[in-house]
Structure 1
Amino acid sequence: MIQIQDETDGLLRVLRLNRPDKANALTADMLEALALAVEGAGKARALILTGEGRVFSAGADLEAAAAGLATSPLWERLSAAIAAFPGLTVAALNGTLAGGACGMALACDLRLAVPGAKVFYPVMRLGYLPQPSDPARLAALVGPARAKLILMAGARVEAEEALSWGLIDRIVPAESLLDSARSLCADVLAAGPGHAAAIKRMV
């Protein structure tokens, strides 16, 4: 349910959520596989996260959430691994981003989305707290009031509004989503080892 594709002689790793019949809802096994794929990315200098189908991810699988996945440390492990990745990380959102899946996108350096994508994080309605690092990352992108609008008021943010807020960085056509993500990684792939990490530290 997680596809790993290494490109450009292993310098670019593409991770794809591949459970489109379930809106790429995440199970514990999928979170574990994603975390291991990021932690074990080897010589990769850039990382792209995307999904199969018309939804990036609906968040936690409902049955798995009811069994305790909603409060699992696996979510934080994954977002921490992405945030610690020394190269460029790009979330290529092929559709709606919801719930706990927001954490992995918030941890990325850049976020692209297709037209019509939505972002929402309904923890208030579901009675959960967001994952520990998510609110601060969200507030850093959109400000504290808009972070509360999403986390507390349950706002569903359309792609155009998310772009104006800084929650996503570009809206690109679905047919060119991955090519656009790859093009953003080109300079990093061509640079020497450690160059991207040094710039990230400076930023």
Structure 2
Amino acid sequence: MIDLAKDGAVWTATLNRLDKANSLTGAMLEQLVDIAEAARDDARVLVLTGVGKVFSAGADLDEARAGLATSDVWERLSGTMADLPCLTIAALNGTLAGGAFGMALACDMRLAVPGAKFFYPVMKLGFLPQPSDPARLVALVGPARAKMILMGGAKLTAEEAFAYGLVDRIVERDQMAEAVATLSADASAAAAAHVAGIKAMIK
């Protein structure tokens, strides 16, 4: 349910569970961790995207009720993504919800299509967010807006997410591949140490 494509130094991991709005199972999350760990040595760019019109609805509901909602795999995934020495891009093909926020927040850049929605209903569902998500969210949007999302149940449009700083660019669906390719070009052509060095300086 995770498709991995490699185009030279650019890797693209695609969530492919169309019939379930790309909701995430434990097996999918573990596979994403494995991909991210492998990308550490072999990729200059790692892109996360999805099929259809939803990036991810978050955790698979049946597995969430069975314990996935509180599993440490979410934090392992976002931590691995955040620590990668390569450029990471979340190419959000649609709505980003719930636990799927973690992997997107951990990326270096977030692009989104018009019409995407952004919400993280942990207050409503009775779960705590993953441990690192609030700090990453605050770094992007500020504490008040983070509280709107995590405590106030705000559902942001793509335009609001861009205005808040949660999304770096809004890209038409048919132009997403070109936008990702443009942003990937310099890093994919550079030496791994150079990519890692610049990213370390920014951190």
Question: For the superposition of Structure 1 and Structure 2, which TM-score range results when normalised by the shorter chain?
Answer: over 0.9
1:3 maps to a residue whose letter is D
Could you say which residue in structure 2 is the equivalent of 1:32? 30
Q: State the distance in 1 between where 2:80 and 2:120 align.
A: 21
Tell me, what secondary structure is at the counterpart of 1:168?
coil
Tell me, what secondary structure is at the counterpart of 2:199?
helix
Q: State the distance in 2 between where 1:146 and 1:29 align.
A: 32
Could you say which residue in structure 1 is the equivalent of 2:143? 144
Could you say which residue in structure 2 is the equivalent of 1:12? 10
CA RMSD of aligned residues (A): 0.7
Q: Deviations over 1:152-193 (max 9, x none)?
A: 001001000110111000000111212211210101011122
Pairing of 1:73-88 with structure 2 (within 5 A): 73-88=72-87
Could you say which residue in structure 2 is the equivalent of 1:110? 109
Q: State the distance in 2 between where 1:140 and 1:196 align.
A: 22
Which consecutive residues of structure 2, in runs of 5 or more, have no partner in the other structure? none
The alpha carbon displacement at 1:198 in A equals: 1.1
The alpha carbon displacement at 1:13 in A equals: 0.6
Could you say which residue in structure 2 is the equivalent of 1:190? 189
The alpha carbon displacement at 1:132 in A equals: 0.3
Could you say which residue in structure 2 is the equivalent of 1:176? 175
The alpha carbon displacement at 1:195 in A equals: 1.2
Could you say which residue in structure 2 is the equivalent of 1:55? 54
- Name which of structure 1's ranges 69-78 and 181-190 shifts more when overlaid on structure 2: 181-190
Which consecutive residues of structure 1, in runs of 5 or more, have no partner in the other structure? none
The alpha carbon displacement at 1:4 in A equals: 0.5
2:3 maps to a residue whose letter is Q
Q: State the distance in 2 between where 1:104 and 1:40 align.
A: 16
The alpha carbon displacement at 1:140 in A equals: 0.1
Q: State the distance in 1 between where 2:24 and 2:47 align.
A: 17
The alpha carbon displacement at 1:79 in A equals: 0.4
Identity %: 62
